[in-house]
Structure 1
Amino acid sequence: MALLELDDVSKAFGSLKAVDGVSFKVEAGEIFGIAGPNGSGKSTLFNIITGIPFGPDRGHIRFDGTAINGKSGHAIARLGLARTFQRETSFDGLTVFENALIGASYGRKEKGAAAAAREAAAEALEFVGLGSVSFGRLAGELSVFERKCLMLATAIAMQPRMLLLDEPASSLTKPEIETSIGLIRRTAERGITILLIEHVLTFLMSLSQHLLVLNNGRVLAAGEPASVIADQRVIEAYLGTRRAVA
């Protein structure tokens, strides 16, 4: 059984169909990439999967066989599904450690003792390279790359089974992107299934076992990454028609 299954999922805002009849499955243990031009519905898809801030208008979403349509964001998180966001989100007036502790305390499948939550937060921060600044810096003092690492650590501290990453490479330098690729690979090696959105196809190609491309809210192509990016429809969605490119 797939860990995550979407069947004919749709979301509209008035006459705009942001996500239109999307279906796919993500197997446990894999890194599954989602690409698409701006406005193709990628982040909206993450929103309706996680229930933050809304669910689908139509279709079925199952996580580990459990229907999650209509469940609240925190209920979905406690089933073991966590996410990060396009923009670097944190409680800027709290320390780095306190941010991760929030995830460990309130997002985990089972609430543990305070000591267990602190241990989970500290371990996650050490994993992403922020252990040395856990207590000495506020989240608002971090660089863009460090804030992205903090988002990842906070999500990992929730001890999820699956992690949705929304454009983790955006606004990063080339060396930071390479570091991010390594972090995501190591996260998957922890046994966490990854669903990954990114504009940069080379980033997705370096990580994904399967690749899906959205365009205008619909699935344009899906399958083995090398075959997907060679699809003429995908080339035209990113670059325009052959005549336009010429």
Structure 2
Amino acid sequence: MPLLEVEGVSKAFGSLKAVDDVSLAVEAGEIFGIAGPNGSGKSTLFNVITGIPFGPDRGRIRFDGTDIQARSGNGIARLGLARTFQRETSFDGLTVFENALIGAGYGKPGRRAAEARSRAVEALEFVGLSSPAFGRLAGELSVFDRKCLMLATAIATEPRMLLLDEPASSLTKPEIETSIGLIRRTAERGITVVLIEHVLTFLMSLSQHLLVLNQGRVLAAGEPKSVIADPRVVEAYLGTRRSAA
């Protein structure tokens, strides 16, 4: 049984169908990539899967066999499904350590304080934020370090699956390479990863399976090399003339 199953999920805003009858299945332990041009519905799909800030209009979502489409965002997170966001999201007025500590407590309500602190420290060190950074305000960090903090806060919840929304955006080439290694190590921890990017080369370096969205619908899905060779995918990214060339 797949760890995550999405069946016929749709979300509309007025007449705009942001997600239109999307289905996918993610197996435990894999890195699953989702691509698509800007505005194709990728982030909205993450929103409806995680219930943050809204669920689907219709369709079914199962996580480890449990229906979650009607659950709250915090209820879904406590089942072991966490996410990051396209923009660097943190509590800027709190320290790096305090941000990670919130994740540790949010993921496991009732956890003892000492255990939560230990979990927060481990998550921060895992992403490369060492103890000298723990006391810095999150709002003072660089873009890359804020992305690392967002990942650490999510990992501190002890997720079984982690949804990453464009982790490479606004990063330099060396930072992107570091990010690729960090995502691989995250998967090696036993965390299943679903990854959004519109940069296909980033997804190709990580994903075992790839799904491409366009205008809210599934355009292609399958083995990454086959998907990016699909003429419909080429046209969606490059346009008809470039596709013909």
Alpha-carbon distance between aligned partners in 2 of 1:170 and 1:62, rounded to the nearest angstrom: 29
Q: CA deviation at 1:135?
A: 2.8
Q: Which runs of 5+ in 1 are unaligned?
A: none
Instruction: Give the alignment's TM-score, normalised by structure 2.
Output: 0.98
Contact 1:31–1:188 (8 Å) recurs in 2: yes
Match of 2:88 in 1: 88
- Partner of 2:168: helix, strand, or coil? coil
Check the 8 A contact 1:239/1:245 in 2, yes or no.
Answer: no
- Verify: 1:51 aligned to 2:46, yes or no: no
Distance in 1 between residues matched to 2:61 and 2:190, nearest whole Å: 22
**Count of residue pairs brought into register by the alignment:** 245
Poorly superposed stretches of 4+, deviation over 6 Å: none
Which amino acid letter does the alignment assign opposite residue 168 of structure 1? P
Q: Distance in 2 between matches of 1:204 and 1:119?
A: 32
Q: Output the CA distance in 2 between the equivalents of 1:134 and 1:121.
A: 13
Distance in 1 between residues matched to 2:130 and 2:197, nearest whole Å = 27
Opposite residue 100 of structure 1, the aligned amino acid is A
Q: TM-score, normalised by structure 1?
A: 0.97
The answer (yes or no) to whether the contact 1:10–1:19 under 8 Å persists in 2 is yes
- Work out the CA distance in 2 between the residues paired with 1:245 and 1:90: 44
Corresponding position of 1:211:
210
Counterpart Cα distance in 1 of 2:244 and 2:136: 48
- 2:194 corresponds in structure 1 to 195
| Residues 145 and 172 in structure 1, CA contact (< 8 A), matched pair in contact too | yes
**Counterpart Cα distance in 1 of 2:152 and 2:242:** 45
Alignment root-mean-square deviation, CA:
1.1
Q: Deviations over 1:142-192 (max 9, x none)?
A: 000000000000000000000000000000000000000000000000000
Q: For 1:158 and 1:133, locate their aligned partners in 2 and report how far apart those are by CA, in whole Å.
A: 22
Answer yes or no: is the 8 Å Cα contact 2:220–2:227 preserved in 1. Answer: yes
Deviation (angstroms), 1:244:
7.4
Unaligned 5+ residue runs, structure 2?
A: none
Amino acid at match of 2:66: T
Letter in 2 for 1:20: D
1:36 equivalenced with 2:55 (yes/no)? no
Counterpart CA distance in 1 for 2:243 and 2:179 is 34
Counterparts of residues 1-246 of structure 1 (less than 5 Å): 1-108=1-108, 111-242=110-241, 246=245
Residues 196-234 of structure 1 show CA distances to partners (whole Å, capped at 9, x for unaligned) of 000110000000000000000000000000000000000
- Sequence identity percentage: 84
* CA-CA distance at 1:107 after TM superposition: 2.1
C-alpha contact (below 8 Å) 1:96/1:133 kept by paired residues: no
Structure 1 residue 59, shift from structure 2 partner = 0.4
Residue 131 of structure 1: how far off its partner (Å): 2.0
